[in-house]
Amino acid sequence: MKTRTLLLVWSVVSLAIPALGEDGYRFWLRYDPVPDQALREEYRRQCREMVVLGRSEVLDAARDELLRGLKGMLGQAPPSVPKASRDGVIVIAGSQEGREITDLGVLGTDGYLIQSRRIGGKAATVIVGRTDRGALYGAFRLLRLLQTRESLERLNINDEPAIALRMADQWDNPRGDVERGYAGASIFHWDHLPALDERYTDYARMLASVGINGIVLNNVNTAKNGLTGWKLITAPYLPKTAALAGVFRRYGIRVYLSVNFASPMLIGGLKTADPLEPAVQEWWKNRAREIYSYIPDFGGVLVKADSEGEPGPFTYKRSPTDGANMLAAAFEPLGGLVVWRAFVYGKDRNPDRIMQPYEIFQPLDGHFASNVAVQVKNGPLDFQVREPVSPLFGAMPKTNQVLELQVTQEYTGQATHVVYLVPEWKEVLSFDTFARGRTSTVEAVVSGRLFGNRHCGIAGVMNIGSDRNWTGQLLAQANTYGYGRLAWNPDLSAEAISREWVEMTFGTNPRVVATISGILLKSWKTYEQYTSPLGLGVLCDKEHFGPDLVHRQKQHHADAEGVGYDRTLETGSGFVAQYRSPWKEIYDSLSTCPEELLLWFHHVPYRYRLQSGKTLIQYIYDSHFEGVEEVRGFQAEWRKLRGLIDPERYNQVTEVLQGQLAAAIKWRDAINQYFFQISGIPDAKGRITVSEK
Ligand code: GCV
């Protein structure tokens, strides 16, 4: 057979069979051939050639991605031409050139337009960005349209991010491990850098495809227990960081580093890190200049100070504003941001630990420099499966605030449990703080819209590692994807996001989409059911894996009569007072407190009747049994996919669900046993007997 015929046969065959060796590495940017021939032909007619207007490395990345995606999905990459020569041209234009083609109107930073229109008399699909980065996002959007089999006819898309700063926070240690990482080792090989690894580019593509524009390369813990993250701002490491910054820059992502507050001592040999000491201030200014000499567009620094062994200004009886503003003065002339975490608590403060961040930070509102942002975890404690929203949101109107979410599943099942966290994050973002009357949502705060603050944002503690499928547990990729999509548009529904992700990752077969989405959308509630329902809070062991209720008594306060942490005004810690009305009153009263948070705010007798008429204790028992049954339901659903998706990924998830079932049973039995024994109240359905232990 002649070579041309062979190629033709191969291209027909390769379009018909799914790619072999599926392992999840290609995440949602798979670009497999469009199987429907008619649709593929239609797309081909619409993507016959490509014109790139403008020159920059970000536009190059956009062009390369389009070529790669179109080649994969259509079997041919459109030739790049200087000017539209026939119908079916894709025009991609950066910030300057775009203005000459179309009116960008009030399109915001990082936004893009995609329009079907005629250019030089030819039918074209035009992608124009407000910035080159916007054009890159537009390119990913166009590819998504094909991946989800949308029509390319009469396009008139106008999209921009709601939140300016969309960060990926890595808890990666330079020695190679990842704190709270469940997907293998760190992808960053500091020993080999500045030599680059292909995976860096693929990670940058992953992040850019969902609109992430900043990455903190290292863990917020930088020195405790022998960690060496503090070294990253020293001369031997800066060329390595610069090399990584080069990779991410091409995808519109600025690089940040976590720094140690005591760096002037650790690195500079000074005797103090007191922020009011001129030598310390000078040291940071010089260090900032040095960093920028390697990385001119360096984003800034993230600081975990006075927290869990990391040093901070408290050592010198100085405040977080003293510390943050000193750093801000060093980075401000260079365009750098200082992100200061509010995850601060200590033994000598309020015994209800969750009250401390508000007590420390709220009074400082109005005192932070304009290039400081205070980063607050979604809840007042620490990424539990259910927490109320942190009362700090909306309580610091004169301060840039960043919402910190945990994409890695530290307390939500690690790589063992399928838990899609987007529904939780949606609840957080849409929570009304009532800071300025109604619709003062967390989203309105962290988009900067509510108070007009410039450097607001959202940060996700990422869940990726060196495992071939990136996230350890394959379906956890939906969290990576969902985090980015929500950061871009918090109004997207959890359903819409899961549908997009499934279609891009597993294909558009409606049965596949409905089945996987169905599992994902139930999974957060299911995990809550068999671990910690009704706002019970932290029940896990010290390593945060299995259950250990004895060790967590100070969190759930279970005794012979009842369970729950009394945080009410009259008899409890008074935490409810940190919320504005009406939340303060709603949470304070047992009868109005939302049941999913009941035990977070109230100590409740076991025989108390919930709205359903069920007693509290029976609810706890039932919830755990029901949660386990839900996991069995997931397994049954997943089995329906056999033959509809590739066997490799089918088997990967089958195994995960087996492990999840075993773990869910362990949680159920440990918790139900504990409550059975402490309350002495039997399960009305007779399922719990005294354990032999
Ligand atoms: C990076 C929790 C986690 C720690 C984490 C810390 C933080 O305590 O268990 O691993 O440290 O939060 O957010 O700083």
584 lines ligand 1 (CB under 6 A): no
Q: Could you tell which of 173, 180, 377, 384 is best to mutate to test the pocket of ligand 1, judged by most ligand atoms within 8 Å of the CB?
A: 180
pLDDT above 50: residue 131: yes
Among 516, 645, 509, residue whose Cα is nearest residue 149? 509
State how far the Cα of 68 lies from the Cα of 77, in Å rounded to an integer.
Answer: 7
Amino acid 690: pLDDT: 73
The string of DSSP letters for 342-407 reads -----TTS-SSGGGHHHHHHGGGTT-S-TTEEEEEESSSSS--SS-PPPTTTTS-TTSEEEEEEE-
398 is written with which tokens? 């004169």
290, 308, 359, 655: which one is catalytic? 308
678 is written with which tokens? 């402490």
427 has catalytic annotation: no
CA of 398 to the centre of ligand 1 (A): 27
Amino acid 95: pLDDT: 79
618 is written with which tokens? 């029976």
| Helix, strand, coil share (%) of the chain residues, nearest 5 | 40, 15, 45
pLDDT above 80: residue 72: yes
382 lines ligand 1 (CB under 6 A): yes
> Token pair 């539209």 is at which residue?
84
> Token pair 């303060």 is at which residue?
584
Amino acid 206: pLDDT: 98
Burial class (CB in 10 A: 0-12, 13-18, 19+), 186: buried
* pLDDT tens sequence across 315-368: 999 999 999 999 999 999 999 999 999 999 999 999 999 999 999 999 999 999
* pLDDT tens sequence across 32-43: 999 999 999 999
* pLDDT tens sequence across 467-481: 999 999 999 999 999
Atom of ligand 1 nearest to the CA of 404: 13
374: Cα within 13 Å, side-chain hemisphere: 31
Answer yes or no: are the C-beta atoms of 79 and 49 closer than 8 Å: yes
Region label for 547, one of left (φ > 0), alpha (ψ between -120 and 50) or beta (otherwise): beta
Neighbours of 116 (CB within 10 A): 16
Answer yes or no: are the C-beta atoms of 598 and 570 closer than 8 Å: no
pLDDT above 90: residue 101: no
Mean pLDDT, to the nearest integer, of 608-630? 98
* pLDDT tens sequence across 436-463: 998 999 999 999 999 999 999 999 999 9
State how far the Cα of 359 lies from the Cα of 533, in Å rounded to an integer.
Answer: 28
CA angle 115, 116, 117 (to 5 degrees): 105
332 lines ligand 1 (CB under 6 A): no
Mean pLDDT, to the nearest integer, of 305-310? 96
410, 424, 467, 622: which one is catalytic? 410
Amino acid 3: pLDDT: 43
Among 378, 303, 377, 376, residue whose Cα is nearest residue 337? 303
310 lines ligand 1 (CB under 6 A): no
191 is written with which tokens? 């020993």
The residue contributing the CA closest to ligand 1 atom 13 is 343
Among 455, 125, 495, residue whose Cα is nearest residue 112? 125
pLDDT above 50: residue 1: no
180 lines ligand 1 (CB under 6 A): yes
Answer yes or no: are the C-beta atoms of 638 and 632 closer than 8 Å: no
CA of 179 to the centre of ligand 1 (A): 8
State how far the Cα of 238 lies from the Cα of 233, in Å rounded to an integer.
Answer: 6
pLDDT above 80: residue 79: yes
* pLDDT tens sequence across 654-681: 999 999 999 999 999 999 999 999 999 9
Amino acid 691: pLDDT: 64
Give Cβ neighbours of residue 561 (< 8 Å, ≥ 6 apart): 605, 606
179 lines ligand 1 (CB under 6 A): yes
576: Cα within 13 Å, side-chain hemisphere: 26
Q: Could you tell which of 224, 343, 354 is best to mutate to test the pocket of ligand 1, judged by most ligand atoms within 8 Å of the CB?
A: 343
Answer yes or no: are the C-beta atoms of 500 and 149 closer than 8 Å: no
65, 179, 382, 467: which one is catalytic? 382
pLDDT above 50: residue 13: no
> Percentage of residues in the chain with pLDDT exceeding 70?
97
Q: Which residue has the higher pLDDT, 27 or 691?
A: 27
CA of 307 to the centre of ligand 1 (A): 9
221 lines ligand 1 (CB under 6 A): yes
* pLDDT tens sequence across 524-542: 999 999 999 999 999 999 9
561 has catalytic annotation: no
Neighbours of 662 (CB within 10 A): 11
655 is written with which tokens? 């195994």
308 has catalytic annotation: yes
CA of 183 to the centre of ligand 1 (A): 17
* pLDDT tens sequence across 584-593: 999 999 999 9
Say what the pTM is. Answer: 0.96
Mean pLDDT, to the nearest integer, of 244-271? 98
Amino acid 478: pLDDT: 98
Give Cβ neighbours of residue 600 (< 8 Å, ≥ 6 apart): 386, 387, 388, 535, 536, 537, 564, 565, 567
Atom of ligand 1 nearest to the CA of 377: 13
208 lines ligand 1 (CB under 6 A): no
Q: Could you tell which of 173, 182, 382, 403 is best to mutate to test the pocket of ligand 1, judged by most ligand atoms within 8 Å of the CB?
A: 382
500 is written with which tokens? 């997009």
Mean of pLDDT over the chain: 95
Binned at pLDDT 50, 70 and 90, residue 15 comes out as: very low
What is the Rg, in whole angstroms, of the alpha carbon atoms belonging to the chain? Answer: 26
Answer yes or no: are the C-beta atoms of 129 and 93 closer than 8 Å: yes
458 is written with which tokens? 């959202």
Amino acid 5: pLDDT: 45
